[in-house]
Structure 1
Amino acid sequence: MKSFPRNRLTLALVASLLTGCAVGVAPQNGTHLSPTECRDLAALRTNAPPTMAQHQSELAALRKAGYDPSPWYDDPYYPDDIQAAQRLVDYWFQTECQRPQAG
């Protein structure tokens, strides 16, 4: 069993937000998500069949948010850890990818 505290991901995410970068990844131009990730995440929110590239972009964004899928076979914090990362990615998507429509 791991010796990390139950809220290790939350602490890592808060620390990363305070330092202005995602866990292990420095933001580019003040953003956390690339234009490709924004496009693919937007496409995943539609009813269209997802592509492998879109799933890979989603996983890359989750990793930037601190999710590590490698301990899937022995992760006592699943699904809390992926849900915390998904909330952070959703926040990034709303603040970085959603542009107000000029009308």
Structure 2
Amino acid sequence: MKSILKLPSLSCVLALSLTGCVMSSVQPGPRAHLTPTQCSDLTALRHHEPLTRERNASEIAALREAGYDPSPLFDDPYYPDDLQAAQRLVDYWYQTECRPTQSN
């Protein structure tokens, strides 16, 4: 009889746990893919400002976020298509997430 009473409480605990897991993964509103620094660095690169290590690293980080992995360059049968797809995605993120700079 005791095991019958424990079973509904166990299933209730499991259901609540699963609900908590699902709700914790739901984020309110859209998630930004690019950081403010990446937006600034990508803007600088688009305006042909001098290249720096930081700007290059920022661009690579954005491409990685878009799913591109530059490490298997010689073994990647999808290169350059996968790089170009990541660049298109980063361009889309840039257009939707980065504020345009005001020019005087």
Give the aligned residue type for 1:42: T
> In structure 1, the residue corresponding to 2:87 is in which secondary structure?
helix
> In structure 2, the residue corresponding to 1:95 is in which secondary structure?
helix
Matches of 1:55 and 1:100 in 2, distance apart?
A: 20
Question: Could you tell me the TM-score, scaled by structure 2's length?
Answer: 0.65
Deviations 1:45-82 (A, max 9, x none): 11222111000000000000000111111111000000
Give the aligned residue type for 1:43: A
Q: Percent identity?
A: 65
- 4+ residue segments displaced more than 3 Å: none
Aligned length: 74
Matches of 2:95 and 2:74 in 1, distance apart?
A: 32
Shift of 1:30: 2.0
Give the aligned residue type for 1:88: L
2:88 alignment partner in structure 1: 87
Question: Could you tell me the TM-score, scaled by structure 1's length?
Answer: 0.66
Matches of 2:58 and 2:36 in 1, distance apart?
A: 10
Flag the structure with higher helix content: 2
Which entry has the higher C-alpha Rg, 1 or 2?
2
Any stretches of 5+ residues in structure 1 without a counterpart?
A: 1-25
Any stretches of 5+ residues in structure 2 without a counterpart?
A: 1-26
1:61 alignment partner in structure 2: 62
Matches of 1:92 and 1:69 in 2, distance apart?
A: 19
